[in-house]
Amino acid sequence: MRVQLGLSGSTDHVLGLRHDTERRVGDRRTNTRATPERRRRDRRRARLRSLIFASLALTVPHQLKHSALKVLPSGPRVSTTIDSMVAVPATKAYEGIIREAAALYRVDASLIRSVMQAESAFDTSAVSRAGAMGLMQLMPDIAEAFGVVHPFDPRENIMAGTRLLRELLDQHRGNLRLTIASYNAGPTAVAHYGRVPPFPETQGYVKRVTGLIADARASAGTNDD
């Protein structure tokens, strides 16, 4: 049984297949062979073409290089190499945002920085077991209340965390220890006890943050209370 596959006539001719009888048509053996003199002339021409192409390959790039230098725009140019790049320590990477937040919400920059260090050790991707996120470990409800769209974005995270510190400072009338305790355990727990709650974690947290603030102020040569 022969299948046409939708093609009219012989499929061999359509697909470009040749029969054995067609292979002899125009066979090179029917042509007159070239003379030795003609072959030598062809070889000389081939060598000449090779020499011309080789010379072009050597001279053209050199000419293009000089012409490219002429069209380059004048003026100062800056080149950067990997060797010239210096990594910024995590402890210094967010100084600009910290100072901006401190000025906006009137919060001591050393308090913001110390809370950030105690909360996440300056890790933007930090997530606690309770679900706190980012540099200042914002809880999901706080992030939502403050309109944080990207909680792991350093600027959004620091701004929201500083705003929370400002509200806690106002609530506790500037009492630093109660503010820090509320940031860790929540203002409800602090209000219940009327002091730093007797939770080992919260008490250790308050001690650590106040110690970091004291160290920062000492290294800056300030005497702020």
- The catalytic position among 37, 100, 119, 144 is 119
Contact 117/212 with Cβ under 8 angstroms?
yes
What is the Cα–Cα distance from 131 to 59, expressed in whole angstroms?
67
Residue 138 phi, psi (nearest 5): -75, 130
Q: Are 183 and 132 in contact (CB under 8 A)?
A: no
Cα angle value 189/195/197 (rounded, 5°): 50
Instruction: Kindly list the distances between the CA atom of residue 176 and the CA atoms of 42, 121, 128, 183, 207, in Å, as whole numbers in the listed order.
Output: 97, 21, 24, 11, 11
174 touches 167 (CB < 8 A): no
Whether 37 sits among the annotated catalytic residues: the reply is: no
Active site residues: 119
